[in-house]
A and B are shown apart, each in its own frame.
Chain A
Amino acid sequence: MVAPPDNDVLWARSLHHSHNGSPALSGVSLGVREGEILAVSGARGSGKTTLLRCLSGQLVPKEGEVWFNSTAVHTMPPMQRERLRRDRFGWIDSDPVLVPELNTWENAALPMLLRGSSRRAAKAAAMEWLERLDIGMCARKRPHALLQSQRQRVAIARALVSTPSVLFADEPTAPLYAADRSQVLRTLTTAARSHRITVVLATLDDEVATLADRTVVLVDGRRVGALRPAEAEGQAACSLSV
């Protein structure tokens, strides 16, 4: 195994994956630089979610390597990957899946509570992020009493509260109206830039391209468009016929 380039916080090399035989990724390579906002775009079913799940250690790719800060994620045992996800990564779903039994601030503070920080510190951090995302007034409501856009903002606060190294957002604006969508995207990117959080953003939205530093386009599980030389080396197998 070759160690990745130093300036990339996250690095993937010729990832192949299939779900029970139906192909999802076939030979995707990419590098994510520290503090950058990388958009992954492509039609539905082009492998965006699978790519994000592989990068965040939820899935182990069938072939290929994933490196995070010079540690190999694809060879880690499950417990260690779980700890990595909890301590260094954040995740935002396309649907805001909150714990229905907890109220808003408890949902937002959950990652900090899971890391074992004190209740007071977790609450302070959660309230700060909720205020910043304009939902401080809903802190004591349960998820069922919130609007969909408010729930999505709670999910974003939950992902940001522990200031992760890398934040993965899987179509975070999919269930929202256009006005909510741009607001959510702007708050997300602003927060990421002000805290130097690296963001990998899967999206169908063209607006994201203007907010992101770079855009990677997936088509049928393959990356299209220009490649950096460092990323091209793993792709010798799929060159001429495409």
Chain B
Amino acid sequence: MLALRLARGSHPLVLLRRLLVAAASAGVGFLLLCTLGWAMNHPAGSVLRLLWCVLPLAATVQFAVAAARTDPSTRPRPGLSAVGLGPAQLTALAAASTTLSCTLGSVVALLFFLHLRGDLTGLPFDGAASDLLGAGQPLPLAAALTLLAVVPVLAFLATGFALRPRKSRLVDDADPERPATPKPAPSGLPWGVALTAAGLAVETYASRGGSEAPLPLPGRFEGSPAGVLAGWSLTALGLALAGPGIAHLCGRLLQMLRPGATRLLAGRVLMDEAARIGRPLGVVCAVVSGGFAAAALYGPGDPRPFGPLTGLGATLIVGCTVATLLTAVLEARHARTETTAALVRVGAPTGLLRTAAALRAGALLAVFGPLTWLIAALAAVPLTG
């Protein structure tokens, strides 16, 4: 109840984030239910469809955790620890409100699914997709509920794990006068580069393999899709691991060679924010290059065209990863509020602070843009060649 009461009084932007989490959860729930509907008519081969739902599911859970992390009502409040809103209670609160949003989304997905199936009548588009969704057969209740519970339960667990009261967090909160110890430079860059390279190599190697494949890919693809997908996952993992390191490197380059105030602030802040922003940025990079590769795969005259459910899944993945990135940027900005206020008191022009922020964004774009394009081009070579 406290989670509900706090949600009522929160800022519209916070509510919008929660609504987006609910929408993403509804999308994933709908995808899962559609898989169930399809499986009722085609018992064989539906595991594969279920597996493809894992990607949007992962993106949604990532977004839910990022939204919970930025939520102002879950931030430690020094004064409220005394009335019982301590770190553990706040974690429980964050997990509860995330679960609430996801459950809301799942309920909407169920209603929408039943409506399109033709079980709920009285609205437009009644039973518009009844053939696709296995109408005419009774819906297995336990299966539907299990599938719908997947997103809320996973989001609950992930939020609780990500926001668990840790010792370092507690120490920082206990001493508000002491500036937070800077995080060490991210160390994942070598691993990330190695994994990306290995993934691309595996993909290229697998694309020459036999044509009788366990995981058919759309398009005119002749290789071994399982190997290609494994290579792809490795590449994406590598990019996510390398993201913080690359962002840190951008910041280091930005503040090199006798910087003035703008470059100094932009570079150092980027170096400090690299850990927070780099990972979602790497994930976005992987998703975008994957999108390019998929576009190369879906040629014209494709026997298995780009359907509405594929579109929904792709929208969910892209939307959730971009929203996670924006949320991380927002979180980084919130963390710097006090320093920014102090800079303004010293007389730093707001124009300079904006220029520094633009410089950071520009540097990241200048590095990650070509990188994304390069990975996409390399990944698409074996698929189209």
Contact = CB atoms under 8 A, between A and B. Distances in A.
B178 A100 contact: no
A113 B342 CA distance: 16
Nearest to B341: A97
B177 A95 contact: yes
B260 interface: yes
Interface stretch (B12-20, B131-139, B264-272): B264-272
A100 B182 contact: yes
B182 A148 contact: no
B345 A119 contact: no
A64 B122 CA distance: 66
Nearest to B259: A119
B348 A101 contact: no
Interface residues on B, range: 20 to 34
A110 interface: yes
Interface string B225-239: 000000000000000
A36 to B, nearest CB: 22
Contact of B346 (A102, A110, A144): A110
B347 interface: yes
Contacts of B350: 82
Contact of A86 (B339, B341, B347): B347
A144 B181 contact: yes
B349 A98 contact: no
Interface string A84-125: 011101010101011111100010001101101001000000
A172 interface: no
A222 interface: no
Contacts, number: 81
Contact of B349 (A58, A86, A159): A86
A143 interface: yes
Given A95-B177, A119-B260, A101 B349 contact: no
Nearest to A175: B177
- The B interface, classified by DSSP as helix, strand, loop or mixed, is helix
A82 B272 contact: no
B179 interface: yes
Contacts of B345: 58, 85, 91, 93
Interface in B257-285: 258-261, 264-265, 268-269, 271-272
A159 B342 CA distance: 12
A114 B347 CA distance: 8
A142 B182 contact: yes
Contacts of B259: 119
A97 B178 CA distance: 10
Of the candidates B260, B341, B352, the one having the most CB atoms from chain A within 10 angstroms of its own CB is B260
B148 to A, nearest CB: 44
A114 B349 contact: yes
A50 to B, nearest CB: 14
B177 A101 contact: no
12 contacts: A82-B349, A85-B346, A86-B347, A100-B182, A101-B265, A101-B272, A102-B268, A110-B348, A111-B346, A114-B349, A114-B352, A119-B259
Interface of A: 58, 79, 82-83, 85-87, 89, 91, 93, 95, 97-102, 106, 110-111, 113-114, 116, 119, 142-144, 148, 151, 158-159, 175
Interface of B: 177-182, 258-261, 264-265, 268-269, 271-272, 338-339, 341-350, 352
